[in-house]
Amino acid sequence: MSHAEVIPLATHSLGLELRSHPQRGRGVFTTKPLSHKTLVDVSPVLLMDHDEYSAHGQHTILDHYTYRWEGGYALALGLGSMFNHAKNPNVGFIRDIANAVIRYFTLRAIETGEELCISYGDHLWFEDTDAPSEHEQGSSSEDEWFGKVMLE
Ligand SMILES: C[S@@+](CC[C@H](N)C(=O)[O-])C[C@H]1O[C@@H](n2cnc3c(N)ncnc32)[C@H](O)[C@@H]1O
């Protein structure tokens, strides 16, 4: 992945920004402390049914970004596609099927400068780096829900 400059997310009240890592690529970081159970983002999703995903989506870069969804798969728009993976994540997520959005929330208090990571589950398709939150406490009950390649 190529390096990019730090991008302040101007419209975001929590002071989040995108930073780039040589192995992990872009990720979401906070410039302010966040308390436990803070709603971090509400990401709208684009839905693909199983047939569309099998014929097209899985053969593209979308395969690295899609979540399992009722009836198929979903691409999260905005921050939802930018969270990197950590074995012990500091952010969890809940699918709102009816409204076609995913809500992301902190699983514990998060300090300034930390990367916000979710768990993709146990079956990764890339070599996991030493993500900052990997040694922190916390868990996500949503692991089994994440994405096509993160599936099983
Ligand atoms: C949903 S995207 C996350 C955003 C991505 N970093 C970007 O810049 O577009 C998933 C991809 O991020 C990278 N990634 C996420 N977590 C990682 C980790 N812990 N170690 C290494 N790469 C990671 C992998 O390349 C993976 O395919």
Ordered DSSP codes for 88-144: S-SEEEEEETTTTEEEEEESS-B-TTPEEEE---S--SS-----GGGGS----TTGG
Assess whether pLDDT exceeds 50 at residue 21: yes
Is 81 in contact with 87 (CB distance < 8 Å)?
Answer: no
Alpha-carbon separation of residue 2 from 5, 6, 24, 105 (angstroms):
10, 13, 10, 28
Question: Do 88 and 138 form a contact (C-beta atoms < 8 A)?
Answer: yes
pLDDT-derived band at 4 (thresholds 50, 70, 90) equals low
pLDDT at 2: 55
Nearest CA among 90, 111, 114 for reference residue 29:
114
Q: Which of 73, 138, 136 lies closest to 105, judged by CA?
A: 138
Thinking of the domain 7-145, which architecture would CATH place it in? Answer: Beta Complex (2.170)
Whether residue 65 has its Cβ less than 6 Å from ligand 1: yes
**Mean pLDDT of the residues in the chain:** 84
pTM (2 decimals)? 0.83
Q: Is 114 in the pocket of ligand 1 (CB under 6 A)?
A: no
Which atom of ligand 1 has the smallest separation from the CA of 82? Answer: 4
What is the percent of the chain with per-residue pLDDT over 90, rounded to a whole number?
Answer: 64
In this prediction, residue 33 carries a pLDDT of: 96
Q: Provide the ipTM.
A: 0.99
pLDDT band at 8 (very low <50, low <70, confident <90, very high): low
CB of 117 within 6 A of ligand 1: the answer is: no
